[in-house]
Amino acid sequence: MMDSRKAACAVQLATGEASAMASEKSSNASGMLKGFAIGMDFYFTEDKDGQKLKKGLESKLAKKIHKLAEDLDAGLEELMKINAIIHYKVQYLFSD
């Protein structure tokens, strides 16, 4: 049986790299969303009733939203894989 200090060290080693990867993926997703939000001015115009989608840009905006959704989904898949790796390693460390 592993003593608590060794177990804590092993968990840190097992989860450290995965945590760094998860942080990077989360940061990437945040950047994608911020970039998308900043680019919205291109697609919308201000009028007396508020903002409206510019004519002729509907399909471009739809494609951009679709691409963002695909990219975010890919990032989520990566985060789920990282979670599974951490779960597996922690479970392996504490199984006897």
User: Which residue has tokens 């911020």?
Assistant: 34
* Residue 1 vs residue 23, higher pLDDT: 23
DSSP secondary structure letter of residue 2: -
* Two structure tokens written together for 81: 């894989």
Under 8 Å CB-to-CB from 40, ≥6 apart: which residues?
none
Q: Is the pLDDT of residue 1 over 80?
A: no
11-60: pLDDT as tens digits: 666 666 667 777 777 788 888 899 999 988 899 988 888 889 999 999 99
Closest CA to 54 of 68, 44, 41, 64: 44
Q: What is the pLDDT of residue 60?
A: 94
Q: What is the pLDDT of residue 7?
A: 62
Q: Is the pLDDT of residue 64 over 70?
A: yes
Range with the poorest average pLDDT among 15-19, 56-60, 63-67, 80-84 = 15-19
Residue 82's pLDDT band, with cuts at 50, 70 and 90, is: confident
Backbone angles phi, psi at 54, to 5 degrees: -65, 140
Query: Hey, where are the domains in the chain?
Result: 19-94
H helix count then E strand count, the chain? 3, 2
Q: How far is CA 60 from the centre of its chain?
A: 23
